[in-house]
Structure 1
């Protein structure tokens, strides 16, 4: 298996809001200290639905990267890059499209869902049908084995696993494969080699999944095998060919509980957002004018927090003591709605303060952001080129 590597991307569609922070960016900040992480701007993916209005994409790219940095994503810990600056994504997408059955793409649940949701757009395009395969190429080009996704995105990871499996099956049978695999086993040393052969037999003859996991763990520990030998033995263990592309796993993330200003999920399409770096005056005004329990017409009317969008924000931002104060004060009409909103205003502004400070550093000197991305693109491209060298060789495209 390849080392633990996380890949995640985001489409540049405008300023990020607190829903993005609680749903994605907080998790990225955590992951960057636990794994090797690559985070990319999915500008080609933005074109699958915004191909007729590309101007928004360029400005959004740099705004979004500043939002990432403001949220605490650290270029010293993670690789930040732009998808279209690494052309190997497109090359792998093209090559994978040669062997991916059309039916696999048509059955991805989000294909029909998105067509229905965006019915005002003409999405009867090759790019829109193929975007799940481009996602697969994004993941497989870096041999990422962990992809943070919500439950609705798991089918995309399953598709990627199927594509990797099919590729390895079609192209992993290099000339002299078995002889090379057997020679690699001997390099493990007598005791480890015997253990590997036993585990391989248990898995292939009896379908023992524990034996498969034990075999993978055994190979991961081997220091004296080349990368090529290691890949061969992973494939040989499972009964396939050389493992050229690794199958990623879904790193399930909890669904964001971030409500918008109207109680619906925070989303730009609902017009109910607070952006990551929105100024304090605007944030204060938005929260102060939020709708509340419609039964509380007058200050003296008791209310029900369960029917009030402000309560949902208290559930995200307030501690137990404040929440008890809200419950009691609202139901007894002991506090007014403006009083109830004040702790939320203070908590949101407190959360945003370090973000604004971090962002200002990059707003004052935009070349810093450009340099971070240029460096990230170089690093990402080196990794992508390694994979493409192996892919071309496996497909017979490394003409000399």
Structure 2
């Protein structure tokens, strides 16, 4: 059955409304499509593109918020591309040796989580030169005020006082990543919706100048709740968190996971309830427990009735360990086989170039280069 909800999505308030709607309903899919009609089920002929920066091994929030759904999309869409976006990574200074290793670690992690090179194309962004060339062409169609008002530039440039040109223009590169493959759908979080809207705008601008060519990609909005820091449940779980017990890595040992969850911030009420506004710490544990177990929040709370939070933390830890331990072991196995990882990425880059090359060739012809 296809459920359709009429909801226009150009403004941020509507996006927030959609996320609130998702969280309050029990829909059969982890993703909803945004842009025009919102469909729980879309035809399998579309093409999905998404990218992830090579920051090493992902954490639990990355897995539950994105990667788990990336795996499921391989069974839904006819063409799926996942890119390790190292061009985006160098908007911040990088150690070259560490960057190379982080690319391989991310590849190992994606494969261990269930990304299948036979059902999707997994590749390293910098190995497909068409990304950079299309980014330049699209950048020449983008105004500076359009980029200046994007929320991540405003936030990150304040942190860095100024910020690099690459940081300023990387949403254009994101648009190029998507449009280069004529992608129909892009899995995004709420904080990335405005960047996807730039890709939609640039598709329209290019089509207006040079004739109908690029489809307007649509957002696949994840219904997964964000995983919060175990030490500060007011903020997202992050690899850059200075508190070492705040974040669970996919390669953490069972003992590490038990210790981190045991030290998770809760409150002085012993009962297990779900109320993110007044009990964010306990609610974060409930949300994690729900996500790794496949139970609803209501079922998790019902099963925890009569258990104090100290005992409940042990149950959550056991559930997280059970979910992550096979992934941890597979990541380690793959990291020990560097040749295999390099071959997977090289093969993926070749397949990505086969798709990208004719698109860029047509773009060059329309712009007047060829």
TM-score normalised by structure 2 residue count: 0.77
Post-superposition offset of 1:127: 1.2
Structure 1 residue 358: deviation in Å? 2.7
**Aligned partner of 2:231 among 262, 265, 271:** 262
**1:11 aligned partner:** 53
Matches for 1:126-275 after TM superposition, within 5 Å: 126-172=165-211, 243-264=212-233, 265-270=236-241, 271=243, 272-275=246-249
- Conserved in 2, the CA contact under 8 Å of 1:39 and 1:81? yes
C-alpha displacement of 1:169: 1.6
**Cα displacement (A) at 1:324:** 3.3
Structure 1 residue aligned with 2:260: 286
Looking at structure 2, the residues matched to 341 and 151 of structure 1 have their Cα atoms a distance apart, in angstroms, of: 29
> What secondary structure is seen at the aligned counterpart in 1 of 2:50?
strand
CA distance in 1 between partners of 2:94 and 2:255 (Å): 35
**DSSP-derived class of the 2:90 partner:** helix
Task: Write the distance in 1 (CA, Å) between the matches of 2:155 and 2:265.
Answer: 31
Confirm whether residue 383 of structure 1 aligns to residue 352 of structure 2.
no
| Offset from partner CA, 1:75-116 (integer Å, 9 cap, x none) | 111100011000111111112222322222222232212223
1:365 corresponds to 2:340: no
Partner of 1:22: 64
Q: CA deviation at 1:22?
A: 0.5
Q: How many residues align?
A: 311
Provide the rounded CA distance (Å) in 2 between the counterparts of 1:129 and 1:303: 47
- CA–CA separation in structure 1 for the residues paired with 2:201 and 2:184: 14
Structure 1 residues 41 and 123, CA gap change in structure 2 (3 angstroms): farther
Please list the CA deviations of residues 9-51 of structure 1 after superposition, one character each: whole Å capped at 9, or x if unmatched: 0111232100000000011011111111100011111111x13
Q: CA deviation at 1:123?
A: 4.1
Cα offset for 1:346? 1.0
Between the aligned partners of 2:117 and 2:253, the Cα distance in structure 1 is: 25
SS class of match (1:268): coil
Are residues 91 and 347 of structure 1, via their aligned partners in 2, closer, same or farther at CA, if it must alter by over 3 Å?
Answer: same
Relative contact order, CA 8 A, sep 6+: which one is greater? 1
Cα RMSD for the two superposed structures? 2.3
C-alpha contact (below 8 Å) 1:80/1:376 kept by paired residues: yes
CA distance in 2, matches of 1:24, 1:131: 21
- Is contact 1:10-1:40 (8 Å) kept? yes
- The residue number in structure 2 matching 1:64 is 106
Mapped pair 1:38 → 2:16: no
**2:129 matched residue in structure 1:** 87
Query: Which of the two has higher C-alpha Rg?
Result: 1
The 1:357–1:124 alpha-carbon spacing in structure 2 relative to 1, beyond 3 Å, is closer
Distance (Å, rounded) in 2 between the aligned partners of 1:30 and 1:52: 32
Instruction: Give the TM-score normalised by the residue count of structure 1.
Output: 0.72
Instruction: Write the distance in 2 (CA, Å) between the matches of 1:366 and 1:129.
Output: 34
Q: Unaligned regions of 5+ residues in structure 1, if any? A: 173-242, 297-301, 331-335
Report the Cα offset of residue 311 of structure 1.
4.9
Q: CA deviation at 1:304?
A: 6.6
Q: CA deviation at 1:274?
A: 0.6
| More moved, 367-376 vs 158-167 | 158-167
Query: In 1, distance between residues paired with 2:280 and 2:136?
Result: 50
* Distance 1:290-1:128 versus aligned 2 partners, 3 A rule: closer
Q: 1:192: which partner in 2? A: none
Distance 2:330 2:337 in 1: 12
State whether residues 105 and 335 of structure 2, in contact with CA within 8 Å, keep that contact through their aligned partners in structure 1: no
**Higher helix content, 1 or 2:** 1
Distance between the aligned counterparts of 2:109 and 2:272, measured in 1? 36
Take 2:150 and 2:283, find their aligned partners in 1: how far apart are those partners?
37
Contact 2:271 2:306 in 1 (8 A): no
